[in-house]
Amino acid sequence: MSTSKKIVLKSSDGHIFEVEEAVALQSQTIANMIEDDCVENGIPISNINGEILAKVIAYCKKHVVLPDGDTSSSSKEDLKDWDAEFMNTDQSTLFDLILAANFLNVKDLLDLGCQTVADMITGKTPEEIRTVFNIENDFTPAEVEEIRKENQWAFE
């Protein structure tokens, strides 16, 4: 068994993470840097802190595709459960994960995060949506009337 290459990542607050190349490659951003051969001294990730970076790495570890094409030891269902649990967190962390996945270009994690937020919107009334995301209604009564008319079809 050959020793796989390790990639060193440094978070914005100075935490060091050593990850297997196969894990790191799930980030298209890092994959490009590896291809361009600029990872010798570790990769500084200046806009992601240690807490979030650790989570992203945990996700990538769980979802790594082994060289022989096999996805980790978990079955598809196990992965789904794990993902659901992974997404079961406060909004601040959730949005940070989405931003991190966007920056590092980890497509599956980004899709997962966006779908999670979409699910938080689907099926809710406007008032419920405001409550969930801590939003204050800024329409005047006259505007409310007009907008409601415009989108009446959506409420039927």
Partner 1 sequence: MPNSQLSSKLRSSSKRRRSKSKRQKLVPNQPEPLHQETEEEQEEEEEDEGNGFKLKTSAKHGVQPLGNLYFINKGAVNVRNTGLGNLHVLTDELVLEILALLGAAHLGVLATVTKSLYVFANHEPLWRNLVLEELKGEFFFTGSWKSTYVAAASSHKFESSGESVLKIRDFYSDYLFQSWLCANLEMRQEWLERDNIVRVRGISVEDFITKFEEPNKPVLLEGCLDDWPAVTKWTKEYLTKVSGDVEFAVGPVEMKLENYFRYSDGVTEERPLYLFDPKFAEKVTVLDSEYDVPVYFKEDLFSVLGRERPDYRWIIIGPSGSGSSFHIDPNSTSAWNAVITGSKKWVLFPPDVVPPGVHPSPDGAEVACPVSIMEWFMNFYGDTKNWKKRPVECICRAGEVVFVPNGWWHLVINLEESVAITQNYVSRRNLLNVLEFLKKPNAKELVSGTNDRENLHDKFKKAIEEAYPGTIQDLEKKAEEKRIAEEQKVTFWDAATDSKSGAFKFSF
Polymer length in residues for the chain: 156
115 is a site residue for partner 1 (CB under 8 A)? yes
* Residues 46-75 interacting with partner 1 (rule: CB under 8 A): none
> Should residue 144 be labelled a site residue for partner 1 when binding is judged by CB under 8 A?
yes
Residue 133 is a binding residue for partner 1 (CB under 8 A): yes
Considering only the stretches 12-20, 56-64, 70-78, 125-133, report the one whose residues sit in contact with partner 1 under the rule CB under 8 A: 125-133
State which of residues 15, 92, 97, 100 lies at the interface with partner 1 (CB under 8 A). Answer: 92
Looking at the Cβ atoms of 82 and 103, the one nearer to partner 1 is 103
Q: Is 135 in the site for partner 1 (CB under 8 A)?
A: yes
∠ CA 50-55-61, nearest 5°, is 120
In which element (H, E) is residue 10 found? Answer: strand 6-10
Strands 6-10 and 43-44 come out as parallel
Q: How far is CA 79 from CA 49, 50, 62, 65, 87, in A?
A: 25, 24, 8, 13, 12
Q: How far apart are CA 128 and CA 139, in angstroms?
A: 16
Nearer to partner 1 among residue 3 and residue 149 (C-beta):
149
Choice between 8 and 98, CB closer to partner 1: 98
- Using CB under 8 A as the binding rule, whether residue 2 contacts partner 1 is answered as no
Using CB under 8 A, count the residues that bind partner 1. Answer: 40
Q: What is the crossing angle of helices 107-121 and 50-62, to 10°?
A: 100
